């Protein structure tokens, strides 16, 4: 990643303000550095030429001010960096989470990664804003200020510094490029090594069972030793770079000092100027040297920013433009023809194309062995996934529209859905049911719960994180109550009665039947009692094309 | 801090290198200070226009220091990294050796046993991070201290008062500034941590239910709610910002004060004729150079709190009592065939917790096939661990019955017990390696035929035959490239290859669909003919030919007679 990624400026506007403040503080620092050198060289020269301490009063007062000024700048630098960093992080977090949520289930498979990225990952940018970026600014401003001050004082020293100074960034870039590959390889090897160690520790119980645990300690030692030997060989080369950089910086300072000394003997310059040169010369190199040292403080944050940008730059799934959804309550029908879905990351044969038709007032059951794409079919209907092939046609009121042309948000206002493992949010039972219909009154929520076999459940009971305080069956019924409250024309149910006892299942299925009166109900299920309700059953994933079994209810 | 001292004792093999690295580091920083000191003297002396010959020593010294610093730093970095790797090796070996004895690890009372992969991975991260203690903390602090002492000595010889001031300001820079920084960071973190946890929980909640929220149109509301939490975090950080800069300000003030004092006391000493005028620049500029060296300590100090807590967590695990007391003079096992007899067995995982087994009696005849059934949490896994001598019972005794007598289990070495009793664990651990490596750990000297035979008996030979790389196929992390059934069968093949006279299967058909489970159960029965077999399961109907079925309920065993019809249906 570049020292200053333009994407950072684009996605986090606060970066600009931070950059401006850093430049301002950099200018202050440069002025104070030059002032300090000026005062010191004058003061020392005055004493050496016989002035005595009494001649130093103004200089000592001036120095005290400079020192105080530098301390204030140092304080402000860190504090301002933290403020800016907090703003930048907040801007990145907000966009990251919104985009991750919008990307849908395929992208949020790495949901734990997004959550870590949004907190610890992005927090690592503190090092970048607090240390690296200000240092980068200093590395530009301070050398220029130093050279500007030295130019009228001592041309030879100025030229020496001006010629050697650019060698440092040039070498940094050259060396950085040369060692990038070997560094990456080294990090990779280190990662593998840690992984191996974790693997051994996690499987230690198993190793112990086979009497291999003690032998494994030796193997860990050998692996680490082997890694050390190979790594040290690369490091000997990699560290040569910093050797060259240090040599350029310190040797130049030494050469400047010797040159100044010789010119002093010749009487070419006076002591004050000589001191000014040797005090300022190292200051010209210092910020550049520290940029390299501070890079590792920034590396973690930059890596996190890189991953964040990758997510932010993932295009959102394509969306249709038609917001006028056919009125499914009027001769509504959903027709799925030749549907197939590509699964990212899943190998093996793709599920076969599927045909399903469901009409208003019908309960349509989809069944088939696991892994044949029943849930995926529902996620296509939900607008959460795009089919790789085939069409879904929504009909109603004499209109026929392809699902792909419909605006997803508009389509979803016509849906109710119960997932196989429904997710309940931290809050009360009523909060979770009310999600389906904001503004629904308590009586409506209560009645929805009652109709899903939850008449004994307290609507104000907390559900805990992820619904942990409820049993799996209760969670499913709360989600079912959502669908009942929603009264949507399309109801999609994924195993709504799995894990329920026969009595509860009857209650839930009664609610399903009631919903079917004025809705299209598509239900994935294995349960015989649920299948018995179906007007039609589609078997998918069997080698032949799905069969449409008419059930005479 | 005591944890840090404890950790320092763990890494031995890197010590010599570390000493060398400290020496090189001190010399490198010393060269930087020396460069400043000699050039300051050179300039001051040169201004008196002496013959150039009188300056030669100083000129050579300036050039030498200029060269030496880079070279010495290079040496320091190389030896330091070498020391770091050696220490890492020590830490890892010590970890494996100690963990082997304390398994399963109980971290803290709240966390429960250290078995979840998340906790383990944090533990491994903690262990690995501790190597930084040597190279990033001990090394810079020791090297800087050496340079500081040397510089203070130099300045004190020239102008005692300035030397004293330098010593004082260096202490401030090395100790006070980091302490102030750390306190500010701790305070900020204490305020931020709960907000961050709340935010993270909110993010997970939102992403977990993203589809539900999208379907019910509630995503914008939820995002707005999350943004409110985000804003709280931002404000908390902004409030802490004021204190963040104190450390840097103190270090800068200390450096400036040392320089100021150098000029004040130095000029005074020149007035008093105790200091030659040419040395004044040395007294003023050396403090600046030393403080620059000490400025490098800030990142070292910054790491210390997190290292200390990592060390404390690692130490806590290391100090767990061993799960099993090995006998001083281990008894030899009796001769085959083997059975087991337990009387009045009581056991628990958590030393402070309640017993999981209470006075359990168990008889397993040689060559028998025993099923142990019971509700989850009844202590089935605990019983298996006790029989395998992975856990000492709190009361009662287990005897290993052989053809020529019996030996008490607790008088045998654990490894000897596990050479006779094998365990095929529920969710047996599969290493991120090849199929062959996963098999071979059961018997490192197995022949190719034995490997294939074990796979065949576990019903995997055909599948392995279809793989392009065969036995060399990588199975992925935790066997993630395999299906649940394949993982279970690989574990079975491993158990069969180990060829223990007694084998305990812990829920071998768990997480498998009905057809796969039934097939695996049949394969287990066929593959273990002749051995003494114990199967812990809650699907006894899958093992119809078992000789005995025992019901484990609330920590005791009862013989259980399933009516034939009941056993056949789930």
Q: Which residues of A touch B237 (CB under 8 A)?
A: 82-83, 85-86, 89
Predicted confidence (pLDDT) per residue in A149-196, tens digit: 999 999 999 999 999 999 888 877 777 776 667 767 777 777 777 788
Task: Name every chain A residue with its beta carbon within 8 A of the beta carbon of B126.
Answer: none
Domain that holds residue A94: 1-153+290-316
Give CA–CA dist A333/A397, Å, rounded. 10
Together in a domain, A19 and A118: yes
With bands split at pLDDT 50, 70 and 90, how would you rate the model's confidence at B470? confident
Q: What is the pLDDT of residue A33?
A: 96
Is A8 a domain residue?
Answer: yes
Residue A94 within a domain: yes
Closest-CA residue of chain B to A245:
B70
CB contact, 8 Å: A439 with chain B? no
Mean pLDDT, rounded, of chain B:
85
* Res. A347 pLDDT band, cuts 50 70 90: very low
| Separation between Cα atoms, residue A303 and residue A87, nearest integer Å | 19
pLDDT in tens, A362-402: 899 988 766 567 777 888 888 877 777 888 999 988 888 99
A4-52 pLDDT per residue, tens = 788 888 888 888 888 999 999 999 999 999 999 999 999 999 998 888 8
The answer as to whether A25 is a domain residue is yes
> Are both A309 and A417 inside the same structural domain?
no
Res B107: pLDDT: 40
Q: Would you say residue A65 lies in a domain? A: yes
Contacting residues of A for B99, CB less than 8 Å apart: 201, 204
Residue A178 confidence (pLDDT):
67
A305-319, A499-513, B442-456 — which one is most confidently predicted on average?
B442-456
pLDDT attached to residue A545: 44
Q: Which of A414-418, B353-357, B430-434 has the lowest mean pLDDT?
A: B353-357
Q: Taking each helix axis from N to C terminus, what angle separates B139-158 and B15-46, rounded to the nearest 10 degrees?
A: 30
A513/A380 same-domain check? yes
pLDDT of residue B512: 67
Contact flag B199-A118 (C-beta cutoff 8 Å):
yes
A520 and A383 inside one domain: yes
Lowest mean pLDDT among A443-452, B6-15, B114-123, B527-536: B114-123
CA distance B395 to chain A (A): 23
At residue A117, the pLDDT reads 83
pLDDT tens digits along A77-86: 989 988 999 9
pLDDT average, residue stretch A79-98:
90
Q: What angle do CA A539, A545, A548 make, to 5 degrees?
A: 50
Confidence check: pLDDT of B566 > 50: no
Dist. CA B315–CA B456, nearest whole Å: 45
For testing the chain A interface, which of B21, B35, B46 should be mutated: the one with the most A CBs within 10 Å? Answer: B46
Query: In Å, what is the CA distance from A303 to each residue of A1, A7, A116, A297, B452?
Result: 8, 13, 13, 11, 45
Better-scored residue on pLDDT, B563 or B62: B62
Residue B188 has pLDDT above 70, yes or no: yes
The pair of three-digit structure tokens given for residue A405, joined into one six-digit string: 């042309």
CATH number of B339-568: 3.40.50.300
Please give the pLDDT value at position A105: 60
* CB distance A327 to A303 below 8 Å: no
What are the residues whose beta carbons fall under 8 Å from the beta carbon of A544, sequence distance 6 or more? none
pLDDT above 60 for B569: no
The verdict on A401 and A310 lying in the same domain is no
The half-sphere exposure of A231 on its side-chain side, counting CA atoms within 13 A, is: 25
Burial class for B53, CB neighbours closer than 10 Å (0-12, 13-18, 19+):
exposed
Among B372, B40, B277, B187, CA closest to A274: B40
A232–B242 CB contact, under 8 Å = no
State the complex-level ipTM.
Answer: 0.79
Residues A308 and A338 in one domain: no
Q: Which CATH architecture has domain B2-318?
A: Up-down Bundle (1.20)
Are residues A132 and A52 part of one domain?
yes
Shortest Cα distance, chain B CAs vs residue A271, angstroms? 6
Residue A262 lies in a domain: no
List Cα–Cα distances, A40 to A44, A278, A509, B182, in angstroms: 6, 11, 89, 33
Burial of A75-92, coded b for 16+ CB within 10 Å and e otherwise, reads bbbbbbbbbbbbbbbbbb
> Is residue A30 domain-shared with residue A147, that is, in the same domain?
yes
Q: Which residues of B touch A153 (CB under 8 A)?
A: none
pLDDT of residue B104: 62
Whether A499 and A471 map to the same domain: the answer is: yes
Taking the mean position of all CA atoms in its chain, how far away is CA A261?
A: 56
Question: A-B interface: how many C-beta pairs under 8 angstroms?
Answer: 400
Q: Are A248 and A171 a contacting pair, CB within 8 Å?
A: yes
Q: Give the residue extent of every domain in chain B.
A: 2-318, 339-568
Residue B112 has pLDDT above 80, yes or no: no
- The pLDDT assigned to A242 comes to 79
Which among A112, A184, A538 is positioned nearest to A362, based on CA atoms? A538
Checking if the pLDDT of B561 tops 80, the result is: no
For residue A244, tell me if it sits in a domain.
no
* Tokens representing residue B6 in the block: 């404890």
Does residue A123 register a pLDDT over 70?
A: yes
Does A437 lie in the same domain as A298? no
- The CATH number of whichever domain residue A411 belongs to comes to 3.40.50.300
pLDDT of residue A550: 45
| pLDDT of the residue at B378 | 67
Whether A276 has its CB under 8 Å from any CB of chain B: the answer is no
pLDDT of residue A338: 82
Judging contacts by C-beta atoms under 8 Å, the chain A residues touching residue B32 are 250
Count of beta carbons in the 10 Å neighbourhood of residue B9: 7
Beta carbons of B99 and A204 less than 8 Å apart: yes
What is the rounded average pLDDT of the residues B542-564?
Answer: 71
Question: For position A107, what pLDDT does the model report?
Answer: 54
Query: pLDDT tens across B198-230, in order?
Result: 888 888 888 888 888 888 888 888 899 999 999
Is there a single domain that holds both residue A349 and residue A452?
Answer: yes
Q: Which of A282, A316, A350 finishes a domain?
A: A316
Domain count, chain A: 2
Q: In what order do the strands lie in the sheet with A354-359?
A: A354-359, A333-340, A389-396, A399-402
Q: Is the pLDDT of residue B110 over 60?
A: no
The proportion of chain B whose per-residue pLDDT surpasses 70, expressed as a percent, equals 92
pLDDT band for B257, please (50, 70, 90 cuts). Answer: very high
CA distance A300 to A312: 18
**Facing A93 at nearest CB: one of B117, B215, B230:** B230
Q: Is A438 on the interface with B (CB under 8 A)?
A: yes
Which tens digits make up the pLDDT trace of A217-243? 888 888 888 888 888 887 887 788 778
Condensed to tens digits (0 to 9), the pLDDT of residues A453-488 reads: 888 888 898 887 777 778 777 888 899 999 999 888
Which among A43, A57, A66, A250 is the top mutation candidate for probing chain B, defined by the most B β-carbons within 10 Å of its own β-carbon? Answer: A250
> Would you call B492 helix, strand, or coil by DSSP?
helix
Q: Chain A: residue nearest B44 by CA?
A: A271
First-to-last CA distance in chain A? 65
Same domain, A360 and A426: yes
Minimum-distance CB partner of B432 among A64, A195, A224: A195
Q: Can you give the pLDDT at residue A2?
A: 65
């Amino acid at each position: 990643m570049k020292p200053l990624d333009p994407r950072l400026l684009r996605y986090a506007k606060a970066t600009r303000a931070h950059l401006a403040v850093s430049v301002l503080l950099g200018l202050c620092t440069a002025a104070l550095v030059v002032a300090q050198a000026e005062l010191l060289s004058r003061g020392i020269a005055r004493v050496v030429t016989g002035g005595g301490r009494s001649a130093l009063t103004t200089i000592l007062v001036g120095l005290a001010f400079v020192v105080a000024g530098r301390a204030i700048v140092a304080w402000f630098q860190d504090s301002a960096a933290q403020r800016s960093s907090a703003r930048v992080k907040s801007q990145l977090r907000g966009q990251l989470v919104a985009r991750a949520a919008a990307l849908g289930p395929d992208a949020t498979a790495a949901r734990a990664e997004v959550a870590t990225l949004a907190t610890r990952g992005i927090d690592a940018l503190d090092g970048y804003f607090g240390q690296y970026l200000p240092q980068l600014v200093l590395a530009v401003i301070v050398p220029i200020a130093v050279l500007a001050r030295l130019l009228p004082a001592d041309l030879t020293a100025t030229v020496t510094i001006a010629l050697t100074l650019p060698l440092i960034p040039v070498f940094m870039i050259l060396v950085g490029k040369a060692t990038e590959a070997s560094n990456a390889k080294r990090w990779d090897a280190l990662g593998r090594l840690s992984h191996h160690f974790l693997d051994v520790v996690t499987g230690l119980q198993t190793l112990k069972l086979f009497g291999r645990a003690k032998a494994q300690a030796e193997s860990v030692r050998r692996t680490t030793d082997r890694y050390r030997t190979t790594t040290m060989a690369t490091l000997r080369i990699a560290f040569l770079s910093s050797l060259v950089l240090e040599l350029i910086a310190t040797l130049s300072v030494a050469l400047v000092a010797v040159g100044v000394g010789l010119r002093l003997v010749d009487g070419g310059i006076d002591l004050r100027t000589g001191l000014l040169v040797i005090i300022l010369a190292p200051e010209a190199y210092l910020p550049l040297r520290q940029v390299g040292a501070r890079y590792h403080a920034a590396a973690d944050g930059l890596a996190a920013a890189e991953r964040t940008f990758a997510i932010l730059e993932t295009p959102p799934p394509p969306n249709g433009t038609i917001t006028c959804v056919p009125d499914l309550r009027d001769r509504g029908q959903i027709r799925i023809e030749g549907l197939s879905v590509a699964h990212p990351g899943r190998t093996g044969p793709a599920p076969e194309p599927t045909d399903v038709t469901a009409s208003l007032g019908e309960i349509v059951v989809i069944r088939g062995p696991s892994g044949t794409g029943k849930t995926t079919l529902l996620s296509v209907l939900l607008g959460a996934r795009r089919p790789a092939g085939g069409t879904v046609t929504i009909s109603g009121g004499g209109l026929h529209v392809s699902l792909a042309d419909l605006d997803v948000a508009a389509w979803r206002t016509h849906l109710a859905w119960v997932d196989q493992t429904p997710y309940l949010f931290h809050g009360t039972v009523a909060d979770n049911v009310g999600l389906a219909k904001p503004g629904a009154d308590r009586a409506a929520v209560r009645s929805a719960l009652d109709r899903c076999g939850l008449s004994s459940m307290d609507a104000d009971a907390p559900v805990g994180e992820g619904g942990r305080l409820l049993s799996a069956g209760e969670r499913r019924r709360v989600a079912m109550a959502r669908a009942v409250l929603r009264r949507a024309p399309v109801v999609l149910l994924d195993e709504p009665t799995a894990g329920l006892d026969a009595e509860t299942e009857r209650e839930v299925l009664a609610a399903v039947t009631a919903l079917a009166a004025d809705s299209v109900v598509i239900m994935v299920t294995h349960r015989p009692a649920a299948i018995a309700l179906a007007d039609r059953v589609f078997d998918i994933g069997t080698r032949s094309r799905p069969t449409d079994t008419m059930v005479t209810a | 801090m005591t944890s840090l001292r404890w950790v320092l004792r763990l890494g031995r093999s890197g010590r010599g290198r570390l000493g060398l690295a400290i020496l090189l580091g001190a010399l490198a920083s010393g060269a930087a200070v020396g460069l400043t000191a000699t050039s300051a003297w050179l300039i001051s002396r040169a201004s008196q226009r002496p013959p150039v010959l009188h300056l030669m020593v100083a000129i050579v010294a300036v050039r030498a220091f200029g060269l030496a610093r880079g070279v010495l730093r290079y040496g320091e970095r190389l030896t330091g990294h070498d020391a770091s790797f050696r220490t890492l090796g020590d830490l890892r070996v010590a970890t494996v050796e100690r963990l082997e004895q304390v398994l399963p690890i109980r971290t803290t009372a709240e966390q429960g046993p250290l078995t979840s992969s998340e906790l383990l991975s944090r533990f491994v991260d903690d262990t690995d991070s501790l190597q930084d203690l040597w190279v990033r903390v001990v090394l810079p602090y020791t090297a800087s201290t050496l340079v500081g002492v040397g510089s203070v000595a130099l300045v004190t010889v020239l102008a005692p008062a300035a030397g004293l001031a330098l010593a004082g300001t260096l202490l401030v820079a090395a100790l006070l500034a980091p302490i102030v920084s750390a306190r500010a960071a701790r305070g900020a973190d204490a305020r931020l941590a709960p907000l961050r946890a709340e935010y993270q929980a909110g993010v997970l909640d939102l992403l977990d239910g993203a589809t539900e929220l999208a379907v019910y149109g509630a995503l914008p509301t939820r995002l707005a709610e999350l943004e409110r939490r985000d804003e709280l975090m931002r404000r908390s950080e902004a409030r802490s910002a004021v204190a963040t800069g104190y450390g840097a300000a103190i270090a800068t003030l200390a450096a400036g004060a040392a320089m100021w004092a150098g000029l004040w006391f130095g000029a005074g000493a020149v007035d008093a004729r105790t200091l030659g005028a040419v040395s004044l620049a040395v007294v003023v500029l050396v403090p600046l150079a030393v403080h620059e060296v000490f400025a490098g300590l800030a990142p070292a100090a910054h790491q210390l709190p997190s290292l200390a807590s990592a060390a404390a967590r690692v130490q806590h695990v290391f100090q767990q009592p061993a799960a099993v007391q090995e006998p001083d003079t281990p008894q030899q096992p009796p001769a085959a065939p083997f059975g087991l007899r337990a009387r009045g067995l009581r056991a628990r995982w958590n030393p402070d917790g309640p017993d999981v087994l209470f006075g359990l009696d168990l008889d397993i005849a040689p060559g028998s096939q025993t099923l142990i059934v019971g509700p989850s949490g009844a202590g089935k896994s605990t019983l298996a661990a006790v029989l395998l001598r992975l856990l000492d019972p709190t009361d009662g005794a287990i005897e290993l019955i052989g053809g020529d007598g019996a030996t008490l289990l607790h008088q045998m070495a654990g490894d000897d017990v596990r050479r006779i009793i094998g365990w095929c664990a529920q969710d047996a651990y599969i290493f991120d390696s090849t199929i062959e490596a996963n098999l071979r750990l059961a018997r490192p000297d197995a022949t190719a035929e034995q490997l294939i035979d074990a796979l065949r008996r576990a019903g995997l030979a055909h599948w392995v035959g279809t793989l392009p790389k065969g036995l060399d196929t990588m199975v992925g992390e935790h066997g993630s490239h395999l299906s649940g059934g394949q993982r279970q069968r690989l574990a079975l093949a491993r158990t069969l290859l180990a060829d223990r006279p007694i084998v305990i299967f812990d829920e071998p058909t768990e997480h498998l669909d009905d057809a796969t489970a039934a097939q695996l159960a049949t394969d287990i029965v066929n593959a273990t003919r002749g051995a003494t077999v114990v199967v812990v399961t809650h699907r006894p109907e899958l093992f119809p030919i078992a000789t005995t079925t025992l019901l484990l309920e609330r920590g005791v065993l009862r013989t259980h007679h399933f009516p034939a019809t009941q056993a056949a249906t789930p």
